[in-house]
Structure 1
């Protein structure tokens, strides 16, 4: 048997997370014979482990909430958050094609009423979507349209005919893709080797994200000369308890509700309103590579049970939230010098009251937005958290139609990529919700590129 003599399909999708399922469903809807191969025994990847936040502009939910947003503001916020490193053409395509994401969420009936401002946003643009419902609906639609789902089927190479990609190799043999392959295999958050290669200063972050996210797709395309984008900017996310397991999304951003961050010495060290990616990098340089979110009963009352990033009730149930009647008592509970923590809180409260400027430059709750509150009303709380490599937002270089580009800018025929395996969208940092939005939007776009190209 030659490499071209394997089982034949029109298209093959590698990876069963949001991008892969979106591409598979769309290809099947186009009437293409498509197979989705997933290395794990179940679908979902990092998407299933995420909080389910999508960044979208001009939505019905925003209008109902009186939020004034626009595509131009969405684009400007992403560009600003990325520090000017993101590919503007990709950002523009994301904004202009977000209607496809909205339509998919509509079909799945996966909307909630949760809307908030989060990292990288100047207005409330983070929409909480029932991610499990969305993933299940995409899978059901794909299968109903004739797609073949192959779990526990790891791709280990791309098959080429000349310079064109025509299939994949795996330990089970060759699968031929006459029209092309979509790489949606996730990032490399579980690959210590690749983290040390690209971002050695981040390699000590807690491994998280999809268990299968070891950079397989990136390596396969790299072997064909694919270019890379943003890999040097990859950073972990601050806010996860060190005992978090893969079955529960345990991430708190009480700092965006009014908490401060202190290290083991009881000192603040960063502007708490910055992106949790920037905070993640800052925490990695602190003693013990961890920090406490310190807040009072006013912020505790802002908890939203069942809402990722804001659910303090669940953290309390897990025994991961520490409380005490006074700040010195809280310091003793945490092993922090009580007098130093009390002095740090007093200095912060002085800046909130306007007696002096904040030496770390904090002026708002998140990204400069929202009125600060003092840490003043007992009881007081602390959440110990570390930096977790929840996702890697750098990866393959792609064109706006998702075609994978070589290092010289030329395209690899027959190869598209979408989701976390792709770079270029985020630049130096990350807006909450843009990873899931780009996965859904560009999974659909990759399918169109193959089916209609």
Structure 2
């Protein structure tokens, strides 16, 4: 190693062809690349055709940029299509139409409470301030309609905007309408096109990316304004989940897409980005075998283990319930018990319908005994636990139970028929990834933007920690997707000027 310094070694191993055209491709790939590589030039290249990617592409196109979306699957297949279609936002036209009151300061306070004060403060404030315009943009740009808001328990409150439409879940409807808008604007979407590396120069500026198309050909997509990473996180990559979160978590069933393999990390790593919150993830209830998703229904009844005992405060968010289950319950199975008093609540009705559509088991009975027997739960234990719970609720002492129920208005379980919904704690998405600026620029480990590299959606890190208010990820995807598209388009224009 005499005479070879670290800088020289870095150039030789990662940027061996920098002087001839500047490509950031592993040496092993370079050695095998014998055939000439086709090159296509755009102003903005977006990787990933989910909510964030399509928002970025639409915004860039509206700013006059020549943009392309590269998607490794044959159709949009990320978390968007599996999402319930919730958007968490304030100061929206939907709220105003219903006379619902809220403030940005209250919203910011609640977002920070849920993130245990560890969500990036500046980005969280920006989220709160821009959430209303995200809802408006979806309606104006893509024709997205929202159902009337149903006021929920803390922290959802009156901020949950659910996409309306024929397709279920709401995320599928959202994806269709956004993709229809992308097509109407004649933005090319190249499916079955997998990005294998970013292209950069010896200054660590991003110039584009290399992908393999559906004909198994390598193509370099050069981007004058920049590349926008919208690949989602790494929750379907078991090795990465084990590395950053531990083996117990890796056994959780997947609630979202099973194709999100961590390209937000593997593609960006050669540029030394600042990764944050890599051990954090979003979880939620799921019936793993059928993928039926009860989500916030955990707040409308009683949560029981298979031994018939309660195990968590029913005021916990559905995310917190799912995150804790594998640590409390070795086999990660439990039940949501409700009675007929809540079945017509829109939130509950929608989740019962999810179980029915998925043909997931729902155990019913006109009495607690019948329901417990149908679910193969210990009858006497369940009857005793429900009686103790109901007595405490009626006495106004639910918060003295073990565990307590700290809901402002705990739900009684006393009017048949009764229903039991089996579920597991599942993983939805990871919170970790490259830290960004307010302009969606990816930061390096020196807290400086990496020129030409942007991130949005679940691909970025810093906004969420521990938990989030339901609907926050889709809203954030639109906010920073649009910002990334706008910034990359402006950078392309500046270069042309």
TM-score under structure 1 normalisation? 0.91
Residues 314, 404 of structure 1: alpha-carbon distance in 2 compared, 3 angstrom cutoff: closer
SS at match of 1:166: strand
Q: How does 1:149-160 map to 2 (within 5 A)?
A: 149-160=189-200
Q: Deviations over 1:278-312 (max 9, x none)?
A: 1012211214211100111112232558x7xx331
How far, CA to CA, are the matches of 1:252 and 1:447 in structure 2? 32
Q: CA deviation at 1:166?
A: 0.4
Whether 2:221 is the aligned partner of 1:178: answer no
Aligned ranges 1:317-332 → 2 under 5 Å: 318-332=359-373
1:29-428 matches, cutoff 5 A? 29-43=62-76, 45-107=78-140, 108-118=142-152, 121=155, 123-130=157-164, 131-162=171-202, 163-171=204-212, 172-200=218-246, 201-238=248-285, 240-245=286-291, 250-256=293-299, 258-285=300-327, 286-303=329-346, 310-316=350-356, 318-354=359-395, 356=397, 357-364=400-407, 368=408, 371-428=409-466
CA distance in 2: counterparts of 1:55 and 1:62, whole angstroms? 11
Structure 1 pair 62–49 and aligned structure 2 pair: CA distance change class (3 A): same
The answer on whether the counterparts of 1:15 and 1:36 sit within 8 Å (CA) in structure 2 is yes
Question: 2: distance between equivalents of 1:159 and 1:132?
Answer: 33
CA separation of 1:203 and 1:27: change in aligned 2, threshold 3 A: same
* Cα contact 2:91–2:102 (8 A) shared by 1: yes
Asked if the contact 1:119–1:274 (Cα under 8 Å) also holds between the matched residues in 2, the reply is no
Unpaired runs of 5+ residues, structure 1, are: none
Deviates more, 1:348-357 or 1:262-271: 348-357
Task: Give distance in 2, aligned partners of 1:143 and 1:300.
Answer: 40
| Alpha-carbon distance in 2 for matches of 1:119, 1:284 | 25
Q: Greater CA deviation, 99-108 or 406-415?
A: 99-108
Over residues 51-97 of structure 1, what are the superposed CA-to-partner deviations in whole Å (9 max), with x where a residue is unaligned? 00001102232233332211111111111100011001111111222
Alignment partners' CA distance in 1, 2:154 and 2:436: 23
Q: CA separation in 2, counterparts of 1:118 and 1:210?
A: 27
Q: Distance in 2 between matches of 1:180 and 1:314?
A: 40
Asked if the contact 1:259/1:293 (under 8 Å) is kept, the reply is: yes
Kindly report which structure 2 residues correspond to 1:2-41, keeping only aligned pairs within 5 A, or say none: 6-41=39-74
Whether the aligned pair in 1 keeps the contact of 2:150 and 2:346 (CA below 8 Å) is: no
Q: Give the superposed CA RMSD.
A: 2.1
Q: What secondary structure does 2:148 align onto?
A: strand
CA distance in 2 between counterparts of 1:103 and 1:170 reads 34
Aligned partners of 2:439 and 2:484 also within 8 Å:
yes
The structural deviation recorded for 1:363 is 2.4
Specify whether residues 99 and 296 from structure 1 end up closer, same or farther in structure 2 by C-alpha distance, changes over 3 A only.
closer
Q: CA deviation at 1:252?
A: 4.3
Give the conservation status (yes or no) of the 8 Å contact 2:264–2:460. Answer: no
* Worse overlay, 43-52 or 326-335: 326-335
In 2, are the aligned partners of 1:188 and 1:215 still within 8 Å (CA)?
yes
Report the secondary structure of 1:206's partner residue. coil
Residue in 2 that maps onto 1:449: 487
| Structure index of larger Rg | 2
Aligned to 1:237, the other structure's residue is in SS state: strand
* Displacement of 1:337: 1.4
- Contact residue 78 and residue 120 of structure 1 kept, 8 A: no
Task: Give the total of aligned pairs.
Answer: 440
* Residues 416-436 of structure 1, C-alpha deviations (whole Å, 9 max, x = no match): 000011111112211100000
**Structure 2, unpaired ranges of 5+:** 1-19, 24-37, 165-170, 213-217, 492-497
- Greater Cα shift, 138-147 or 215-224: 138-147
Q: Secondary structure at the match of 2:279?
A: helix
Q: TM-score, normalised by structure 2?
A: 0.84
Q: Distance in 1 between matches of 2:118 and 2:420?
A: 35
Q: Distance in 2 between matches of 1:6 and 1:194?
A: 32
Contact 1:230 1:428 in 2 (8 A): no
**Deviation at 1:8?**
1.1
Q: Tell me if structure 2 keeps the 8 A contact 1:396–1:421.
A: yes
SS in 2 for 1:207: coil
Shift of 1:236: 1.9
